[in-house]
Amino acid sequence: MDSHGQNEQRVVWTVVGTDIGPLLLAATQDGLVNVVFHATDAVRDRTLDRLASRLGTEPVEAPDSPLLAEAIRQFEAYFAGTRRDFDLPLDWSLISGFNRQVLRELASGVPYGSVVGYGDLAGRVGQPRAAQAVGVAMGSNPLPVVVPCHRVVESDGGIGGFGGGLETKRKLLALEGVLPEPLF
């Protein structure tokens, strides 16, 4: 509690090494709130500034935090190929409206090893003409990998875009058996 008797928001973070490069994981008492690709020093600093602004508190580096421990374990197991689904509490406070609706549908309705088209996902949330808006929702996903925006592809068979870069998307889809492993 703060000096006014209010519960103070706590944000903890760490960077973990993965097969797709360093990921920044941030969590609140409500759950995992942010996953950020390519967590170099510059990306990390921008992310922490944005989180502080959006959540109203300075994030604290805490790699041993109980709030992050299970997320770290599950990411390690996912990249080792021994976990197919994430079972983590999620803090959805960085996203709202249509984007949150689309991402929740994606998280619950597109399992490991499968893909869905942008238009198909739009139809699942009752907006069949909103394929472009689904693309915007994918680009604003604060919880990539856990909320698997890498599983959303173009209806013509194209891989589509990806905030973490197309090579990262290919690696994630290969890990899940959707694409063959790259030759080099």
Residue 86's closest CA among 31, 39, 129? 31
Which pLDDT value is given to residue 9? Answer: 76
DSSP lists the bridge partners of residue 104 as none
pTM for this model (two decimals): 0.91
Task: Quote the CA–CA distance of 46 and 132 in Å, as a whole number.
Answer: 27
149 is a catalytic site residue: yes
* Cβ-contact 37, 20 below 8 angstroms: yes
| pLDDT < 70: residue spans in the chain | 1-8, 181-184
The predicted-structure confidence for 70-98, as pLDDT tens digits, reads as follows 999 999 999 999 999 999 999 999 999 99
Of 149, 152, 153, 175, the active-site residue reads: 149
